[in-house]
Chain A
Amino acid sequence: MTALSRPDQASPPAVNPRHRPSGAGTSRRRRVHGRDLLGALLSVPALALFAVFAIYPGLRVFYLSLFDYSLTAPPEFVGLDNFRFLATDPRFRETILNSIFYTVGTYLPALVLALLLALVLRRMTRGLGWIRLLYFLPVATSWVAIAVVWRLVLHPDGLLNQTLGLDVTWLTSSTSARWALVIMGVWKETGFFLILFLAGLARLPAEVHEAAMVDGANAWQRFWRVTFPLLKPITAICTIIAVIRGFQSFSPQVVLTDGAFGTEVVNQFVYKTAFESARMGRASAVAVLMFALLIAVTMVQLRVFRREDS
């Protein structure tokens, strides 16, 4: 946050070396002030949009979580009833577990794979640069469109089964549907983290590596003792982004399984609670819990990575 602590550019007397007739001092200060006022006004469109469409709903979600609210009737205060309901609702609990499964199942392999690929692809330049593009391609695809494609890939007679010689009903069995989502998720998300790891590796000083090489460290030692510790801040950021993306997941579950066969995630639970059961208060309570979870995960991860750092 160094940008926030930089000095103000105000200091008007020194700025303008031009001499002016008497009385110019005060009028100039007023002019500078007027210019800054105009400058302040430039932020109004963005700030107004934030205030109305981000901050107001961000605060109101806490308020609504204490109410029974159906959109058409005025909200009715129910205290912590919504949270009490959620604490004992087996379906909510199941969607939480499904979200955790999807997040860990997709993003742990995606992160590991991205890191390993980055270490190899970093050296593959000069004529081999196009190979990384193949991995980046899924990043440019949109979730719904690519999920439509994956419905065919995961069809019992589709690309995956026929290529690997399998006979799995990926999308219509409660044992494999969750894995189908994970497989597609790894395919879609690895490239994103690969971009981040490659950017991180590109910023590492080359000398450290060369020094380790001269010291006779082998490839594994160089990675584990030199490269990985230097990549920790990026790994921390990637992990946080991964958890946030995992818990926000919605489109693949909607298109691939419509939440059937044990794949319904928290976001679908919120959607259905709010818009199919018209329980906006209860849905808000889930959103509040989700928010708390995201904050907690972020803090824990930052702390863990910082401790290991020192």
Chain B
Amino acid sequence: MKTRVARFGLQLVVAAGGVAFAAVLAYAVLSALKPGGEVLAVPLRWWPSSFEWHNFARPFTETAFSRYYLNSVVVGVAVTLLNIVTCTLAGYSFSKFSYPGRNAAFVVVLATLMVPLEVIYVPLYALVFDLGWVNSFAGLIIPAGTSAFGIFLMRQSIDSVPDELLEAARLDGAGVVRTLLTIIGPLVRGPIAALALFIFLMNWDSHLWPLLVASDDEHRTLPVGLAAMQANNLGASSVPMMMAAAVLALLPTVALFLSLQKRFVEGVAMSAGLR
């Protein structure tokens, strides 16, 4: 009895904590809808006296927000597609073929997991500068075109496709690429979706690299553009507009999370090598 009460109390505390965590996001959405004078009202006012939907138009009319948004979508989709192709091909190659140097190449790929962007970005920038890719989509997309985690994931997944199945396809005269598209592809659709989600989320959050290679308005992605907007709009009258911009920037990934919870959670767990 005593333990049951204690457990109920504990669960109540945890539930309240969860509500407090999510309250920050609710506060952001409601602040984006408030008239300018109410966002910092004392005492705190949760519910707007009137819903100012036009706050959501302000980032588009007053700043280059639509450009940043479009850039983030374009770069995100391009990087995701590129990763699906390069990681699936490499995973297939490392899993189902034997050739000298295969295992060594795989070990080198895994070793790059130990070297984060933060360690290499100075020479990486120098390289991209020499290639003439500063302030270009190539500079944003191509260096992010593959991932060690993705190759690892795809190799593990393709490992579980039975060799007999591939052998049968081969005897039927299917080539290497057709086997990949018609036999393996459908069987690893789940891992590919997890990879796509993971890469897109990572890219949507990416700030440091785009800040270096995309400094002009034409190529800025959302994180870079939003940070610049924040620095230029410190006044209280800009708060609803900035909240609206932030909410719009959060929307795609939060929506993806809510609609694909299970995959999302699996993806996070996998990225830590737990599954």
Interface residues of A (CB under 8 A from B): 3-4, 8-10, 15-16, 18, 35-43, 45-47, 49-50, 52-58, 60-61, 64, 69, 71, 117, 120-121, 123-124, 128, 131-146, 148-153, 155, 157-159, 162-163, 187, 190-192, 195-196, 199-200, 203, 219, 234, 237-238, 241, 244, 247-248, 250-251, 254-255, 258, 267, 270-271, 274-275, 280, 283-284, 287-288, 290-291, 294-295, 298
Contacts and interface: CB of A to CB of B under 8 A. Distances in A.
B92 A149 contact: no
A15 B223 contact: no
Interface in B94-108: 94, 96-99, 102-103, 105-108
Nearest to B83: A46
A237 B274 contact: yes
Interface string B186-205: 00000000000000010011
Nearest to B28: A149
Contacts of A135: 17-18, 21
B274 A196 contact: yes
A42 B27 contact: no
Contact of B222 (A145, A200, A248): A145
A131 B103 contact: no
A54 B112 contact: yes
The secondary structure that dominates the A interface is helix
B208 interface: yes
A144 B118 contact: no
A285 B17 CA distance: 43
The listed residue with most B CB atoms (<10 A of its CB), out of A18, A58, A132, A244, is A58
B98 A8 contact: yes
15 contacts: A4-B107, A38-B176, A46-B89, A49-B146, A58-B119, A131-B18, A132-B18, A143-B207, A145-B249, A148-B246, A153-B24, A195-B268, A199-B275, A219-B3, A275-B212
Nearest to A252: B207
B11 A128 contact: yes
A43 B103 CA distance: 12
Interface of B: 3, 7, 10-11, 14-15, 17-19, 21-25, 27-28, 31, 39-44, 85-87, 89-90, 92-94, 96-99, 102-103, 105-109, 112, 114-127, 129, 142-143, 145-146, 148, 151, 155-156, 159, 163, 167, 170-171, 176, 201, 204-205, 207-208, 212, 222-224, 226-227, 230-231, 239, 242-243, 245-246, 249-250, 253-254, 256-258, 261, 264-265, 268-269, 272-275
A187 B264 contact: no
Contacts of A43: 89-90, 93-94, 102, 105
Nearest to B226: A144
The secondary structure that dominates the B interface is helix
A203 B270 CA distance: 13
A268 to B, nearest CB: 10
Contacts of A132: 18
Nearest to B264: A140
A270 B117 CA distance: 12
Given A138-B21, A153-B27, A254 B268 contact: no
A35 B170 CA distance: 10
Given A139-B268, A162-B43, A46 B107 contact: no
Contacts of B89: 42-43, 45-46
B93 A42 contact: yes
A152 B119 contact: no
